[in-house]
Chain A
Amino acid sequence: MSIFDNIKNALNSFPVKSTYKINRMRPPGSVDDDLFMKLCIRCARCVEACPYRVLRRSSATKNAEIGTPYIYADVAGCQLCMKCTSVCPTGAIDSSTVEMQQVSIGVARINEDTCMNHLYAKVESGELEPTGNMALCNSCLNTCPLKDDAIYLKDGIIPTITEKCTGCGLCVERCPIKPIKAIYIIPKNMPDAETAGYYNYLKRIGKQ
């Protein structure tokens, strides 16, 4: 590799853009994160507008996200009230997002090894030995604002997420599994080749 290539690569992977992190999303209606980082002037208007205190201002990290708004789904999911979408002075949050169906800040995935419903189904089919406390949970289904659209019970047991999932993270907030929740959000448009690629890969092969 020539010196020029080295410099080019170093500059292109300069670690100041925002990072991908599971369960951490931008506010609803946010533009692609590359553009978001350039547009957001860190004015905290959206942070102020959020009545549920879900949006938080990020602090210093190894990257330059300092000051930008994030939803931390494992603390609290976004209620999709759409109060924050109309206040952004630079268009980092697209103000044309008014319906919760328009929102797409991430997509939920379920960990089949820890989800109570999945375990229940596995026991029922004889795949696993029954343990003490088997129960159907359905918390994620019941809390979803787009119940039956974004998430439904396949065969009456398996919670299944569809492409209508907004990524609000309410299911993550409610999931009773500790310490790592059985359901998590893969944020959209986060600039990290590997993990965002994972999401894109799933999309490509049609598994969303």
Chain B
Amino acid sequence: MQKFRKVIQFIFLAPLFIVPILNLLEIYFMKGTYISLDVGGLSISDPVSVLQALFLSHHVAPIMLVSVAVPALIVIFFGRVWCSWACPYYLMLDGFEALRKKLKLKSLKKPYKKDIHIKANISRLGILILGLIFVGIIGVPLLYLISPPSIMSSQSVLLIKYAYVTAEFILLPILIIIEFFFGYRIWCRYVCPTGTCLSLMQTKFSMHVEYSGKCSNCNQCIRVCPMMLDPKTESLSSACNNCGECISACPDNKKEKTLYFKSH
């Protein structure tokens, strides 16, 4: 399953380059960035951006609602899969982990502590709320400035089409340094407003990891979880992004269904 996830991640990385290149060839089948993408007329937007625009302008364009329908439905059915299966930033972090391993550096991941995900969830929810308040005060939807997937895709368009970047680019090198040298998935776990907003749409009926209740307690799943959860007991936490690493790592799964995805 993890191989499959990698493939999907790379497929979602591709538009970063394909869209601007198609664009240069004057093919407009796919256009936009990960703030808002248009594939053959189907419009898909980042819910946080649209939320801000709605909230500030008191102005509802039908296309705005339609464009969040797809991400909302995906989250409602499959959970926050955008993060682990598609977000280019997450792919980069996966890459960093692998690179650190290759370079024989110690993993930055701290040992599992119970309920650490609650702290992380409060932090990112707080940042989203503070961000929305800030946006409300200044009246300009600026949260995209701290959304790595948005920045990555808009800057790649600019780089390829116009050969310049705009100021928000600066966040990327800073984050790269922080994530590579100082912390383990800091941005995704503690900050990212996009991820948080997607988490909020997840319900307990969405697809999630289910535990059969009995296993050999090897705790392999805890060791691999990138969100520092205990998949056996905490998989309903909004931090879980359904990456499925725990399921792939579980040795008992070979004998019987111990840890598996379940949707209602």
**Pick from A42, A64, A90: contact of B154, CB under 8 Å:** A42
Considering the chains assembled together, what is the distance between the CA atoms of A163 and B20 in angstroms?
A: 37
With A16-B138, A39-B59, A41-B49 already in contact, the answer to whether A53 and B162 are too (CB < 8 A) is yes
- CB-CB under 8 A from B175, the residues of chain A are none
**In the complex the two chains form, is B144's CB within 8 Å of A41's CB?**
yes
Taking the closest CB of chain B, its distance from the CB of A189, in whole angstroms, is 15
Interface centre among A39, A43, A87, A90 (most CB of B within 10 A): A43
A164 at the interface (CB under 8 A from B): no
Q: Report Cα–Cα, A35/B67, bound state, in Å.
A: 20
Majority SS at the chain A contact face: loop
Residues of B within 8 A of A17 (CB): 139-140
Is the C-beta of A137 less than 8 angstroms from some C-beta in chain B? no
Bound-state Cα–Cα, A66 to B20, Å: 20
B78-129, CB < 8 A from A:
none
B36 and A91 contacting across the interface, CB-CB below 8 Å = no
**Do A43 and B154 form a contact, CB below 8 Å, given A51-B26, A57-B166?**
yes
A40:B141 contact, CB within 8 angstroms: yes
Proximity string of chain A (44-75) to chain B, C-beta cutoff 8 Å, 1 when within and 0 when not: 11011101010011111000101100000000
Taken together as a complex, chains A and B put the C-alpha atoms of A57 and B46 apart, in Å, by 19
The verdict on B7 contacting chain A, using a C-beta distance below 8 Å, is no
A interface, CB within 8 angstroms of B: 14, 16-17, 35, 37-45, 47-49, 51, 53, 56-60, 64, 66-67, 83, 87, 89-91
Which residue on B lies nearest to A37, using beta carbons?
A: B140
* Pairwise interchain contact B33-A44, C-beta atoms closer than 8 A: yes
| The residue from A41, A51, A56, A59 contacting B35, defined by CB atoms under 8 A apart | A41
Does B157 sit within 8 A of A, measured CB to CB?
Answer: yes
- Residues of chain B with a CB closer than 8 A to A56's CB: 162
Chain B interface extent, by class = 35 or more
Residues of A within 8 A of B157 (CB): 44, 47-48
Select from chain A the residue with minimum beta-carbon distance to B55.
Answer: A38
B32 and A48 contact, CB distance less than 8 A: yes
Chain B residues, Cβ within 8 Å of A43:
32-33, 35-36, 45, 49, 154
Task: Pick the residue among A35, A37, A89 that contacts B63 (CB under 8 A).
Answer: A89
B241 contacts the other chain (Cβ, under 8 Å)?
no
Residue B196, interface by CB 8 Å:
no
Given contacts A16-B139, A60-B166, contact A42 B61 (CB under 8 A): no
The reply to whether A41 and B168 contact each other, CB–CB distance below 8 Å, is no
User: In the complex, what residues of B have CB within 8 A of residue A40's CB?
Assistant: 53, 141
B262 proximal to A (CB < 8 A):
no
Taking a contact as CB atoms under 8 Å apart, the answer to whether A39 and B53 are in contact is yes
- Give the Cβ gap from B32 to chain A, nearest Cβ, in Å: 4
Q: Is B1 interfacial (CB 8 A cutoff)?
A: no
Contact (Cβ within 8 A) A57 B154 = yes
Task: Name A48's contact: one of B23, B43, B64, B150 (CB within 8 Å).
Answer: B23
Given contacts A35-B57, A44-B154, A53-B161, 14 further A-B contacts (CB under 8 A): A14-B138, A38-B56, A38-B57, A39-B57, A41-B46, A41-B49, A43-B33, A43-B154, A44-B32, A45-B38, A48-B23, A48-B31, A64-B142, A89-B43
Provide the residues of chain A in CB contact with B20, threshold 8 Å.
48
List residues of chain A with CB within 8 A of the CB of B56. Answer: 38-39
Establish whether residues B167 and A59, one from each chain, have CB atoms under 8 Å apart when the complex forms.
yes
Report Cα–Cα, A14/B64, bound state, in Å.
Answer: 28
Q: Does B31 contact A41, Cβ atoms closer than 8 Å?
A: no
Contact residue among A59, A64, A83, A91 (Cβ-Cβ distance under 8 Å from B64): A91
**5 A-B pairs with least C-beta separation:** A60-B167, A91-B61, A41-B49, A59-B166, A43-B36
